Structures are given as C-alpha cells and as structure tokens.
C-alpha cells in the first residue's frame, strides 16, 4: 500500500503501515565492516555477502538504506559500479539487475563530530559511540536497516592509540595490534546473527572496572564497565546489579548468558536510558554511575532496574528479535515486565507495583486518551522513534503481566519456554508470542489478542447490589473503551479482574460465585474473567456490610468506576489486605476530596472537606506495621498529571489550588505527627543503604514535605539543617527541593551554594536544573530562561534538556500552564531551537502539548497557536512534525 498520507496541510509525509510488511528478498550471510575513525571524515568500508532468497523474484532490485552518507566507492564482485548501475533514492540506494549471489563492497565517509542527532556514530565527550535502534545504522553505512535482516558481523576499528586506547564492538575481540603513525586496531567477531539495530562501536580513553560471573553451566563471563576518567568509584553498584541480574535470569527463567564477555559503556550524551547492543550495552551515565554522595535511593534502584532491563534483552530482544518495528512491544513490553519483576524481587513487591501503576496512570492513560493514542502494536507511524512510548513499553508490560495472571506463573513460564524453543535466532511477531502462550497452555487467547490491536484505556463500570435476605452480593460489570484516533468502535476486551470481599472487620471472606445459567461470569479463584460488554456475577454467603476490593494489584490496565462512599474508601485505606488496593483507596480518597474542593472553588464557597480524611491519614502515619516506603506512597497526594486524567476538562488553577489546600490542611491538622515521624525517621548517623534505611528516608522526606507547606521558620531551619548535614543525595536533594520550592527568602542563595558544591558532577547538576525548573513560583519562568545560558546547561545534551525543559513542562503544571502563556512560549521556543539539532528529543518535548484540548478555551488557543507556529518552521523534522500535526488533527 505504502501511501502518502496528508496528515496536515502543506506537507506530504511517508506513513509506514504494519500491513505493508514484505520479507526482504535477500539474505545477508555476513557483514564485514572496517572503521577508520576520524571526527569529521570517518571512513566506513563494508563487505556484504549477499544471496537472493530461494522464494524471491529474480528481478527484485537490491535496496539499501543510507542517510547522510557520502558514497566513495561501490563494487559488486570486485568490479566498480558506474553511476548508471545504481540509483540514489530517498534515504537509500537501489541496484537493479544484481546476480543471485554476490559480494557488495562499499566505502562511505561520515562525520561523527557534526552528528548531533545522537543516532548513528557520534562523539560524546571526545569518545566515539553509536546508537542504531531503531534506524540509526543507515547513518553508518548502506545496509538493509530492518530488524528481520540478521547477519554475522565482523568489525575492524582503527584509530589513534593514545587518544582511543579502547576500541570496542560486539562479540569477542579476535585480533588487535599496532599500526603506523601511532595508530592501532582491533577486530571483533560476533558469533550470533543479529539485526543492524544491535550493532555497536565505542572508542575512547575510559576507566575500566572488571569482574566476572560464572554462569549456571559453569562458564566464566568477563564483565567490563567503561566510564569517563575519574568515575570508577561510581560503578560498583552497576557491576553488582549486573551480576544480580544475570543470576536472577538463570534462577527465575532458566536463561543463561551466551558470550564470553559482557561490556557496558557509559556516555553522557544519550537520547534515552540505555541500549541493549549484543555484548556491548551503551548506557546513559544516569543509569550507571551511582554513589552515596551523588545518587538518590531512587537512582540506585533505577540503575539496577535499567542494568537488568538491558541484560534481560539478551534473550527477549536479541536472541529472539522483532520482525518489524510495529512488533516493538514484543521485546519491550516483555523486557519491562521482566525488569519490573526483577526489581520487585530485590526490593518490595507491593511498593514496586504501586510505582509502576503510577507511571501508567499519570503518563500512559494520558497517551491513550490523547492524539498519539496507539495500540501496543501500532498500525502506522511516520517516525518510528516516536513510538518508543509508555504504551508500547509500560502498557505492553501490563499485557504481559495479564498472561501471568491468566495462566499462572508456571503456565506463563511454559509459554516462554515454547517461545524460545520455537524462535531462538529468529525475528518474529507479537502473534508468534501469543501462539506460544496458547499452545503451551492449551488456552484460548483469541479475545485477549484485542489488547494488541485496540488503543485506548478500557473503562470498567461496576455496580453492586446486596440482597440481605439471600445474603448475596451481585456485581454488575460493564466495559467500554473510548474512541481513539482511527479507531471508533471497540470490541470487548478479555479483562482479568482480581477482587476480594472484605467483611466489616477487614477480613477477606471466601469467594463463592453462583452460577445461574448461560452467560455466567466465569470466576477462577479471585479472578473474574470480564469478557462481555456487560456481565453480572453473584457471590453467595456474603455478610451484610461487606465491601468489595476491586481490581486488586491493578490486574488489568483499565480505569475502574465504582461508587465507593467516603467511608468505604476510608475503610479500605485502613484495612485492605491487598497493599496495592490499600494505596489505591487512599489515592481515591484524596482525589475525591480535591475534586470536591474544586467544585467549592468554582461556586465561590468556603473550602472544606470531611474531617475523617485527616484521621485516616493519621492512622496510616501511625501504623507501626506499615513499611516507611509504603507509607510515603500512601500519604502522597496524587500528582496533577494523574488528577487531570480523571476528568474530561480541567480548571488547572482550581485543581492546583485545591491540591495545595488539602496538603496544607493535612499539614496543619497533623503538624505534631509529621514532626514526630520526621524526627523518628530522619537518620543522622552513618549512611546505610538497607531497605529499612531507604524506607526511613522516604518517610522522613514525605513528613518534611508536609511540614514545609506551613511556611514556618522553624521548618525552614529543619530543612536547611538536613541539607547541611546530609551525607547522602536522597536527603540533600529532598531538602534542596523543598527549600527551593518554598517561600523561604534566601532560597536562591541556598540553591547557588548547592550548585557551587556540585558543579563538577553532571548528574547532580541535572538534579539541580530540575529543581530550579519545577519551582512553582512565578519567577521560575525568568529563571529558567536565563539558565539556558548558564554553564550548567547544554542544548545538545538530552539529560540537560530533560531536566530544564522537560522537567518544567511535565512537573511544573502551575508555571507551564501560566495564564499569560509564557510557559507555552518557552517550550515552543526550545522546540524550535532543538528540532534540527536533535529531532528525537525535540519530539519528546512537543508531546507536552498533547493534552491541550483538556484545558480552558484561552489556554487551548494559546497552545494551539504554538503548535501551529512549530508546524510552520522550515525543514521541520518528521519527528516533531508527526507529534505536532497529530496533536492538531
Ligand atoms: N531498546 C532501547 C531503546 C531504543 C530507542 C530508540 N529510539 C532501549 C531499551 O528499551 O532497552
Ligand atoms: Zn528495552
């Protein structure tokens, strides 16, 4: 089909469709690459051993992708091609009349130094590195740059020995040596066939941490972490995490590492978190470097999680990869699920589940309800990089989690075993995955497949009726799913709804579902299989006053609508045995109060809310059996981005005011309690990284955050003291943030001291930038404007952009949505400066306008104007174009 679709006026773009898939007509048996590294004139020579597939037409031309390449020579079987024997096409090259088997040799020149897109081969702090997923390999050489073309790679690298003592690529180093003129070389061979997106090369002068791991079959694997000079002491946590991940994958999934060496290189300029290149992962420094002084407890957990994620890709992504990019969730959803389980096993299952669901609620629900909504397996895209989304990744992981819920842990593992047995070494589809699960378990997943094809967040509406005479509770369940771009009507999903029934003492009563004839709801254990648009399930032997605890553990990525009364929520907040639902009840309670306050604000009434909420909060705070991290989560009022997704249209001024009012009231009413718990949990002695210490830091931070809303001098002194005394970044950054976001007179001086202290630690400076950008005060807009010229900021560095600009738009709703529109103008200006420099990062920023339709008319108009202006920019990148044009559609 390959149509040209007019997405917005005045511009034709190529839209790629899933339904257009065609197998590549050639096999590339082997690839031999040679790099002569040079900042603005790297020469890449490539020899491809090519054979036409037996079932391919014999007149099919050879089509190769290639972008920003200067072709120097091109030969087939040793004979140079004349210019009429090949033809340049958009982003590539075509050769007609090729033999059935031949060797293609090309030499191209590229310029890593001027490559600011951070895709392909580029320089970061004077060191070479690559990023090829999704389509970056075509910026290195002419090649069929698609994941279903898998080949065996040999890579030779040549560079100055003194400037680039380490020359790295995938697989095993099979040769190295000195060359003339102070140069040296290394040759790497990867024994595993792989798609081009998993290719990697790094060259530089690094510090190196080494270790080793013995696999379950007794093989020794050498582990290496390469970092910028002077950062070695910040790598030990990453190394320990890698070893834990390797062990965990063996123990939990029976999956063993397959090469003799595993390398990680950390770079400061990187578009995302990390990349799972075979045997040579490249990481954003943010997910490698961690020390007590510079990294928070959350950073430590994130480093472990991302190290795990990339390691787990070796099986789910590399050994079995994707046929085409529409199948991205095949590897990403599955690998996110695996890293979530890994982190949960290392930390706390309940807390981890809450953290993961928070991402879904605040980000994925927003994406699903906005102009970029897409199923976890999208049907079309303009720029693939725009589809590395919370939907593909995190909703994808929720879909994987549902298999485990439906099939049980053993059944899920059986399915994975079949998947690996069938597809090891192949590039496959989501459908292949579903089939493996089905076949391994003899389970019908026909309806379940809709999770792959339908976008939007399903809504489950539940009403309950209690028959006192029969002692029966019936639940009427209805599911709907809103229209999303390109998808009007939706068919019902198979939704596993986990539930419990709590008696008035808070104990779970046994579930006794009644079967009353055809169309009955199947209930298995505590799971109701909601498969129809409407179903009813009746439970027998239910005492009066029983309260249902619904969607336990967030067993499906849906919005639940059940009319809990305030008292029921308070009851569940105090008693639910499912820790996720206990947290959930609190969140609902808070949002109930906040939207009540919003109504009062709208009608000019005096603000007020039910006092029993205060008691409920105090009970959680005082509960000696609850873990500090859980308490911290349970006592944190839902963020503005989450609250916005609960209503159709939002008065942002009222919402932020109501939220602040609730927090301040809780602070006032429970002042002594917050103080007491702050004092008992804040630790001043020796630093500890134990679970208990982490929990205490989390809870003391939450207590201090409540106290700070009181705007009292004594509390400011408490925070200043914490900042001064801190021997770890968790306490220090929490205190700095609370001071900087308060009305404290000297806050700027405090922030400046912090900056002076940490100016040479990039990752800490990024935290500082984020804190500066998220101050809700009116002056922030001027401050972040001048920070663009501050030595701490660099537009070319995505981490800095994410802190100063991304942080402002996503975590400072008060100032981003300023009534005068300056927040929007600021964002639009940065997008305009960035789209030519780094299209991917610019596109991410553009997404901040996606929810413009939710706001009042004036703000809608202002956001729309900015989007329209962006679309008028000359040579706008297709990345930004796709987001901006779809937002306006
Ligand atoms: N697979 C990479 C992401 C690549 C993003 C390309 N724009 C990291 C990961 O998910 O593990
Ligand atoms: Zn991944």
Q: What number of helices (H) and strands (E) belong to the chain?
A: 29, 35
Write the residue with the smallest CA distance to atom 5 of ligand 1. Answer: 133
The whole-model pTM stands at 0.98
Write the residue with the smallest CA distance to atom 2 of ligand 1. Answer: 275
Strand partners, 51: 27, 101
Q: Is the pLDDT of residue 516 over 70?
A: no
CB of 197 closer than 8 Å to CB of 137: yes
pLDDT confidence of residue 783 = 98
Cα 388 to middle of ligand 2, angstroms: 9
In a mutational test of the pocket of ligand 1, which residue from 388, 389, 392, 839 has the highest number of ligand atoms less than 8 Å from its CB?
Answer: 388
List, by residue number, the catalytic residues.
Answer: 310
Strand partners, 79: 76
Question: What is the end-to-end Cα distance of the chain in Å, rounded?
Answer: 23
Q: Which atom of ligand 1 is nearest to the CA of 384?
A: 7
* pLDDT tier for residue 11 given thresholds of 50, 70 and 90: low
Cα 589 to middle of ligand 1, angstroms: 37
Which residues have any ligand 1 atom within 6 Å of their CB?
Answer: 133-134, 272, 274-276, 309-310, 313, 332, 385, 388
Distance CA 16, CA 325 (A): 10
User: Mean pLDDT in the chain?
Assistant: 97
Q: Is the pLDDT of residue 404 over 80?
A: yes
User: How much of the chain exceeds pLDDT 70, in percent?
Assistant: 98
Phi and psi of 560, rounded to 5°?
Answer: -100, 135
Q: Which atom of ligand 1 is nearest to the CA of 134?
A: 6
* pLDDT tier for residue 520 given thresholds of 50, 70 and 90: low
Q: Which atom of ligand 1 is nearest to the CA of 393?
A: 10
Q: Tell me the mean pLDDT in the region 507-512.
A: 98
Write the residue with the smallest CA distance to atom 10 of ligand 1. Answer: 332
* pLDDT tier for residue 740 given thresholds of 50, 70 and 90: very high
Closest CA to 284 of 292, 879, 299: 299
In a mutational test of the pocket of ligand 1, which residue from 272, 274, 389 has the highest number of ligand atoms less than 8 Å from its CB?
Answer: 272
pLDDT tens digits for range 193-206: 999 999 999 999 99
- Please report which ligand is nearest the Cα atom of 838: 1
Q: Are strands 459-467 and 559-562 parallel, antiparallel or unpaired?
A: parallel
Cα 683 to middle of ligand 1, angstroms: 38
pLDDT confidence of residue 6 = 35
CB of 13 closer than 8 Å to CB of 73: no
Please state, in angstroms and as integers, the Cα–Cα distance from residue 860 to each residue in 52, 657, 744, 866, 871, following that order.
Answer: 55, 20, 34, 10, 17
Provide the residue count of the chain: 889
pLDDT confidence of residue 12 = 77
Cα 401 to middle of ligand 1, angstroms: 20
Q: What element of type H or E holds 350?
A: helix 349-359
* pLDDT tier for residue 222 given thresholds of 50, 70 and 90: very high
Closest CA to 412 of 496, 293, 485: 496
Q: Tell me the mean pLDDT in the region 796-813.
A: 98
Cα 415 to middle of ligand 2, angstroms: 20
Q: Is the pLDDT of residue 4 over 50?
A: no
Q: Tell me the mean pLDDT in the region 856-882.
A: 98
Strands (DSSP E) found in 18-169? 26-36, 42-52, 62-65, 70-76, 79-80, 87-89, 92-95, 101-110, 120-124, 127-131, 152-160, 166-169
Distance CA 35, CA 121 (A): 11
Q: Is the pLDDT of residue 482 over 80?
A: yes
Cα 197 to middle of ligand 2, angstroms: 13
pLDDT confidence of residue 518 = 58
Q: Which atom of ligand 1 is nearest to the CA of 385?
A: 7
Write the residue with the smallest CA distance to atom 1 of ligand 1. Answer: 275
Write the residue with the smallest CA distance to atom 9 of ligand 1. Answer: 275
Cα 310 to middle of ligand 2, angstroms: 6
- Please report which ligand is nearest the Cα atom of 387: 1
In a mutational test of the pocket of ligand 1, which residue from 139, 276, 386, 391 has the highest number of ligand atoms less than 8 Å from its CB?
Answer: 276
- Please report which ligand is nearest the Cα atom of 273: 1
Phi and psi of 470, rounded to 5°?
Answer: -85, -10
Q: Is the pLDDT of residue 1 over 60?
A: no
Q: Are strands 70-76 and 183-189 parallel, antiparallel or unpaired?
A: unpaired
pLDDT confidence of residue 305 = 99
Edge-to-edge strand ranges of the sheet holding 79-80 = 79-80, 70-76, 101-110, 42-52, 26-36, 152-160, 183-189, 172-178
Q: Is the pLDDT of residue 787 over 50?
A: yes
pLDDT confidence of residue 123 = 98
Write the residue with the smallest CA distance to atom 8 of ligand 1. Answer: 275
pLDDT confidence of residue 519 = 58
Cα 272 to middle of ligand 1, angstroms: 7
pLDDT tens digits for range 323-368: 999 999 999 999 999 999 999 999 999 999 999 999 999 999 999 9
pLDDT confidence of residue 8 = 46
CB of 271 closer than 8 Å to CB of 133: no
pLDDT confidence of residue 450 = 99
- Please report which ligand is nearest the Cα atom of 841: 1
Domains in the chain (CATH in brackets) are: 22-205 (2.60.40.1730), 323-453 (1.10.390.10), 467-473+481-556 (2.60.40.1840), 571-888 (1.25.50.10)
In a mutational test of the pocket of ligand 1, which residue from 129, 136, 273, 275 has the highest number of ligand atoms less than 8 Å from its CB?
Answer: 275
Distance CA 483, CA 370 (A): 10
pLDDT confidence of residue 517 = 59
Q: Which atom of ligand 1 is nearest to the CA of 336?
A: 10
pLDDT confidence of residue 271 = 98
């Amino acid at each position: 089909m390959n149509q040209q679709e007019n997405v917005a006026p005045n511009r034709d773009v190529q839209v790629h469709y899933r339904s257009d898939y065609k197998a590549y007509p050639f096999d590339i048996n082997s690839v031999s690459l040679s790099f002569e590294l040079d900042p603005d004139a790297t020469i890449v020579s490539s020899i491809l051993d090519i054979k036409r597939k037996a079932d391919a037409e014999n007149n099919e031309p050879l089509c190769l992708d290639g972008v920003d390449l200067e072709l120097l020579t091109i030969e087939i079987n040793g004979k140079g091609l004349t210019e009429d024997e090949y033809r340049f096409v958009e982003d590539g090259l075509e050769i007609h009349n090729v033999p059935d088997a031949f060797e293609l040799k090309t030499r191209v020149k590229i310029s890593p130094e001027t490559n600011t897109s951070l895709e392909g081969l580029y320089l970061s702090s004077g060191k070479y590195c690559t990023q090829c997923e999704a389509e970056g390999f075509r910026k290195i050489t002419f090649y069929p740059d698609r994941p279903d073309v898998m080949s065996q790679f040999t890579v030779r690298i040549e560079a100055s020995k003194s400037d680039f003592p380490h020359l790295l690529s995938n697989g095993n180093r099979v040769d190295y040596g000195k060359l003339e003129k102070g140069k040296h070389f290394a040759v790497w061979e990867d024994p595993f066939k792989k798609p081009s997106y998993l290719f990697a090369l790094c060259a530089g002068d690094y510090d190196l941490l080494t270790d080793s791991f013995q696999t379950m079959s007794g093989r020794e694997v050498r582990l290496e972490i390469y970092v910028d000079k002077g950062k070695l002491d910040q790598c030990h946590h990453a190394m320990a995490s890698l070893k834990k991940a390797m062990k965990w994958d063996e123990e939990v999934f029976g999956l063993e590492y397959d090469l003799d060496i595993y390398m990680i290189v950390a770079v400061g300029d990187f578009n995302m978190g990390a990349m799972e290149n075979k045997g040579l992962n490249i990481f954003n420094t943010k997910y490698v470097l961690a020390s007590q002084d510079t990294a928070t407890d959350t950073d430590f957990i994130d480093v472990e999680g991302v190290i795990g994620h990339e390691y787990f890709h070796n099986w789910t992504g590399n050994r079995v990869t994707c046929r085409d990019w529409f199948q991205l969730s095949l590897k990403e959803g599955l690998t996110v699920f695996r890293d979530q389980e890994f982190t949960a096993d290392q930390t706390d299952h309940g807390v981890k589940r809450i953290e993961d669901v928070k991402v879904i609620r605040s980000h994925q629900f927003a994406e699903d309800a906005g102009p970029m909504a897409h199923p976890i397996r999208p049907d079309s895209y303009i720029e693939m990089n725009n589809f590395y989304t919370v939907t593909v990744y995190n909703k994808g992981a929720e879909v994987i989690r549902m298999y485990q819920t439906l099939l049980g842990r053993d059944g899920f593992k059986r399915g994975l075993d079949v998947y690996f047995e069938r597809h090891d070494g192949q590039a496959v589809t989501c459908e292949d995955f579903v089939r493996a699960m089905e076949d391994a378990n003899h389970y019908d997943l026909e309806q379940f497949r809709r999770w792959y094809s339908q976008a939007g967040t399903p809504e489950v509406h539940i009403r309950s009726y209690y028959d006192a005479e029969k002692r029966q509770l019936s639940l009427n369940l209805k599911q709907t799913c809103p229209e999303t771009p390109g998808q009007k009507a939706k068919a019902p999903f198979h939704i596993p709804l986990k539930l419990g029934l709590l008696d008035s003492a808070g104990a779970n009563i046994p579930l006794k579902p009644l079967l009353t004839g055809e169309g009955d709801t199947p209930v298995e254990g505590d799971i109701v299989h909601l498969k129809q648009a409407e179903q009813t399930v009746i439970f027998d032997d239910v005492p009066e006053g029983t309260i249902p605890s619904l969607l336990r553990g967030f067993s499906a990525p849906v919005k639940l609508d059940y009319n809990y009364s305030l008292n029921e929520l308070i009851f569940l907040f105090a008693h639910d045995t499912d820790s996720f639902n206990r947290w959930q009840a609190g969140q609902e309670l808070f949002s109930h109060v906040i939207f009540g306050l919003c109504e009062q604000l709208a009608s000019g009434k005096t603000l007020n809310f039910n006092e029993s909420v205060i008691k409920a909060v105090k009970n959680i705070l005082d509960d000696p059996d609850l873990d500090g991290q859980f308490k911290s989560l349970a006592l944190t009022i839902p963020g503005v981005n989450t609250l916005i997704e609960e209503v159709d249209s939002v008065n942002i001024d009222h919402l932020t005011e109501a939220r602040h009012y609730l927090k301040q009231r809780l602070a006032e009413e429970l002042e002594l309690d917050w103080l007491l718990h702050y004092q008992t949990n804040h630790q001043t002695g020796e630093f500890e990284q134990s679970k208990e210490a982490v929990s205490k830091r989390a809870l003391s931070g939450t207590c201090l955050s409540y106290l700070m809303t009181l705007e009292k001098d004594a509390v400011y002194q408490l925070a200043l003291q914490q900042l001064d005394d801190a021997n770890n970044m968790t306490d220090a950054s929490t205190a700095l943030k609370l001071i900087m976001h308060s009305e404290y007179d000297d806050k700027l001086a405090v922030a400046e001291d912090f900056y002076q202290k940490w100016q040479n630690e990039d990752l800490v400076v990024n935290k500082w930038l984020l804190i500066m950008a998220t101050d809700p005060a009116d002056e922030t807009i001027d401050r972040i404007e001048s920070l663009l010229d501050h030595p701490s900021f660099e537009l070319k560095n995505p981490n800095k952009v994410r802190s100063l600009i991304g942080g402002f738009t996503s975590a400072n709703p008060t100032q981003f949505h300023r009534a005068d529109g300056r927040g929007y103008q600021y964002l639009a200006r940065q997008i305009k400066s960035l789209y030519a420099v780094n299209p991917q990062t610019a596109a991410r920023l553009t997404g901040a306008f996606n929810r413009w339709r939710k706001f009042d008319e004036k703000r809608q108009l202002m956001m729309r104007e900015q989007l329209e202006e962006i679309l008028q920019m000359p040579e706008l990148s297709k990345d930004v174009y796709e987001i901006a044009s779809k937002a306006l559609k």
